């Protein structure tokens, strides 16, 4: 299985390590797509790590030493953040662990579109990737970009929405690649010449 599409690195030894799914999952666990996220979502994800670590530490410190308690709390919190707010199946699709029929893929995309349209914290949503390039195959992921509404509360709601969708995708074993952008300017960094399928556009009203 070719993995040239996952985590594109120029380093030969990194590409060699990424031939194994364990290494790719470990790398995703460590960094959790933070370098791909906009400021709001990055702060939200790091904040979850901090809050969960404190809560678990308060629980563990009754029975464990301070260092062991904080270490265990961080590892558990970071893993939960990875599982429930990450893209596990988006990584594993590169190694042959994901296969969907076109009907399943389309149905999932349609349901996500309905959920997104009812969320007022989102002003724009579009699908990119192989399905809009007419290159869909059974291991394709659903590549979605959202733009949040203005304001702190909307930012938090939009981040929670992304987290819920990632959790849903984890439980369904579906390769969802979804990110939240702070404004429409972030769309300029996506693949040039790729015409997305727009699911929602409230940008003229925001």
Domains of the chain with bracketed CATH: 12-90 (no CATH), 99-201 (3.30.460)
Identify the helix (H) or strand (E) that includes residue 24.
Answer: helix 21-31
pLDDT, tens only, 38-79: 999 999 999 999 999 999 999 999 999 999 999 999 999 999
Confidence of residue 191 (pLDDT cuts 50, 70, 90): low
Q: What is the pTM of this model?
A: 0.89
**Alpha carbons 4 and 170: distance in angstroms, whole number:** 23
Mean model confidence pLDDT for the chain: 90
- Are the C-beta atoms of residues 143 and 128 closer than 8 Å to each other? yes
- Strands across the sheet with 122-128, in order? 176-181, 142-148, 122-128, 197-201
- Are the C-beta atoms of residues 122 and 156 closer than 8 Å to each other? no
pLDDT number for residue 2: 45
pLDDT, tens only, 6-31: 556 566 776 777 888 998 999 899 99
pLDDT number for residue 153: 97
């Amino acid at each position: 299985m070719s993995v040239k599409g996952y985590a594109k690195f120029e380093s030969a030894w990194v590409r060699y390590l990424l031939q194994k799914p364990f290494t790719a999952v470990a790398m995703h666990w460590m960094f959790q797509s933070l370098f791909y996220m906009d400021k709001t979502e990055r702060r939200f994800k790091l904040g979850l790590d901090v809050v969960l670590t404190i809560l678990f530490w308060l629980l563990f410190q009754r029975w464990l030493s301070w260092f062991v308690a904080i270490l265990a709390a961080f590892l558990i919190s970071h893993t939960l953040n990875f599982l429930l707010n990450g893209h596990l199946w988006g990584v594993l699709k590169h190694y042959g662990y994901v296969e969907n029929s076109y009907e399943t893929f389309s149905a999932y995309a349609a349901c996500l579109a309905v959920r997104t349209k009812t969320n007022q914290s989102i002003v724009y949503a579009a699908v990119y990737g192989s399905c809009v390039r007419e290159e869909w195959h059974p291991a394709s992921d659903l590549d979605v970009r959202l733009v949040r509404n203005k304001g702190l509360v909307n930012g938090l709601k939009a981040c929670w929405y992304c987290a819920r969708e990632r959790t849903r995708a984890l439980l369904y074993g579906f390769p969802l690649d979804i990110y939240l952008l702070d404004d429409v300017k972030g769309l300029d960094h996506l693949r040039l010449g790729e015409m997305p399928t727009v699911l929602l556009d409230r940008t003229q009203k925001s």
